[in-house]
Chains A and B, each alone.
Chain A
């Protein structure tokens, strides 16, 4: 770690001035910079440690059965939980996945296999990249204009659509890469057996590419679960259960963990702030769990 990878000359050489001189200014400067970059790297880790520490200490304090089964408390109420927000997050991410995964994977098939060099594919790839950079709040504005203004109510499908817009580019681009990574030999062998193109895709390429596709899908799901901005004015928030009397009431404001954290963090009540921390802990655990899962799935392929 002393910053000198240059091999020293053999000791038998006469003094040619080629030996390493560790106290030369250049060498010292190199050492100093190496120390500096270590400090910078460790400093970059401080926020993560601090966030996780506060989540465990402040969020863990309230973690218990009741936060998963009870409804959010009103103003001065004590206790309560965020069971409906977990259900809401799951339902809305589910809706987003139902929209974005079929479209995403089918498009990826086209981009990777059916017409990789076509004009359409080039434009679509560009569109997907553009969507990647779309600020999440604008996905919310779009869903607001497209669904909320049309149906006249804040609803779970509106939130789901906003999340789908954010998931779609990730799914498309990672799935395309995964399908491209299928060895050409495997594919040609299937064609040699007389498969039609769709058979090759369905029976050979997609099964081979599944781990890679799943990795992308799960990363997109993890990101969507933590998104707040697109839900603020599409799903809004609700203090009631999404399923009442055994059937879902989708066309009404819907709670989500992320919006609950945002709403409660600004309240002047200690109880709500504690719940915001606990909800954050639960949300981070969910997101990290999906992340680890995607890593495991992705590694199995290698």
Chain B
């Protein structure tokens, strides 16, 4: 019907034309494939939960909740309990969070609040990323041959002078809680630093300028205006760092000493859930595997709750930022 007499017949032009049947087919197939992969992710998560959960059921049926409150782990007598491991997991992670959280937040403030020339800031940023890139087993090796020997005289001195304080109640006779916590802190630091930097960047520049305009010094602006404004995000960063520490395995398996005891002392050996799994799984018989699956389920539960809390806090903090 065109005035020039050129008929636009669908599918005949060598340059342009509507999609062919093959195009339609590949389009459909590709989109279907993409949808299937998304379902695969969900399936994977479900499989992880199911495989650990179902393998743990016989352990749960046999030991019940007493598993969580009993303190002995004796394969020979078939007695199993993970209270010392739960205690060690929480205690070591909390110590690591105290140290790593402080340095992580300090690093985030340092990198975002114009303390540095761009080039120096880049250098420190690379440093934090390198800290995150080094594999945990290498940190474990370093801890064994550097942190433990370096810490032993300090621990001995603290024990002698301040031994009446429960935290210094024992000497460091090799691996123990304190070196493990120090190494764990180094591994928590990059997570906390990265997430808190994002939180600090979300605070509008105007807020800081307003504080300066009122005559605040730089640190008054940081401590009384910026950090409170970013507090939700920083709290989220700390929770995520805590989650990271709870699940960390290798450095702890190498450094914490694997002793099933509950002690406040920083220098006594302890154990964690992840280290328990790492050390006992390779040689476990079928009976013990069921129990270890139960322990894995406990670890999964704890980390899941902490991480979901962290994500929820982060979601709240970024929603607040959008409103501002």
Measured CB to CB, the residues of A under 8 A from B are 1, 3-6, 26-27, 29-30, 33-34, 37-38, 40-41, 43-45, 47-48, 50-51, 54-55, 58, 102-104, 106-107, 109-111, 114-115, 120-121, 123-124, 127-131, 133-142, 144-146, 165, 168, 172, 194, 196-199, 201-202, 222, 225-229, 232-233, 236, 258, 261-262, 265-266, 273, 276-277, 280, 283-284, 287-288, 291
Contact = CB atoms under 8 A, between A and B. Distances in A.
A83 to B, nearest CB: 19
Interface stretch (B25-33, B60-68, B71-79): B25-33
Contacts of B106: 37, 40-41, 44
A38 B300 CA distance: 38
A144 B277 CA distance: 12
A164 B299 CA distance: 20
Interface of B: 16, 18-19, 23-24, 26-27, 30-31, 33-42, 44-45, 47-48, 51-52, 55, 102-103, 106-107, 109-110, 114-115, 124, 127-131, 133-142, 144-146, 186, 189, 212, 215, 217-220, 240, 243-244, 246-250, 253-254, 274, 277-278, 281-282, 292-293, 296, 299-300, 303-304, 307-308, 310-311
Top 8 nearest A-B pairs (CB, nearest first) are A135-B247, A226-B135, A133-B307, A229-B249, A106-B37, A110-B34, A30-B217, A233-B281
B42 A26 contact: no
A47 B38 contact: no
Contacts of A6: 212, 215, 217
B45 A107 contact: no
Nearest to A236: B282
B135 A114 contact: no
Given A124-B38, A141-B296, A4 B218 contact: yes
A115 B107 CA distance: 38
B258 to A, nearest CB: 11
Contact of B249 (A127, A135, A222): A135
A228 B31 CA distance: 36
Contact of A120 (B38, B48, B144): B38
Nearest to A135: B247
Contacts of B47: 142, 146
Nearest to B18: A194
B38 A198 contact: no
A123 B35 CA distance: 13
Contacts of A287: 133-135
The winner among A1, A48, A236 for most chain B CB atoms within 10 A is A48
Contact of B300 (A121, A138, A291): A138
Contacts of A229: 136, 249-250, 253, 274, 278
A165 B30 CA distance: 23
B35 A33 contact: no
Contacts of A133: 240, 243-244, 247, 303-304, 307, 310
Contact of B44 (A47, A137, A168): A168
Given A137-B249, A165-B48, A3 B281 contact: no
Q: Is the interface of A mostly helix, strand, loop or mixed?
A: helix
Given A103-B37, A142-B52, A198 B31 contact: yes
Nearest to B222: A33
6 contacts: A6-B215, A51-B134, A106-B38, A130-B304, A142-B48, A265-B254
A141 B135 contact: no
B250 A106 contact: no
A269 B293 CA distance: 33
A103 B40 contact: yes
A37 B114 CA distance: 12
Given A29-B219, A130-B304, A198-B26, A283 B135 contact: yes
A286 B39 CA distance: 33
Contact of B31 (A33, A103, A114, A145): A114
A50 B16 CA distance: 64
Given A40-B103, A133-B243, A283-B135, 14 more contacts: A6-B215, A44-B128, A44-B131, A54-B145, A58-B145, A133-B240, A137-B249, A137-B296, A194-B19, A199-B23, A229-B253, A236-B282, A262-B254, A265-B140
B56 to A, nearest CB: 10
B246 A135 contact: yes
Contact of A137 (B24, B51, B130, B274): B274
A288 B281 CA distance: 31
Contacts of B293: 141, 145
B41 A103 contact: yes
Given A130-B308, A142-B48, A276-B141, A262 B215 contact: no
Contact of A261 (B137, B212, B240): B137
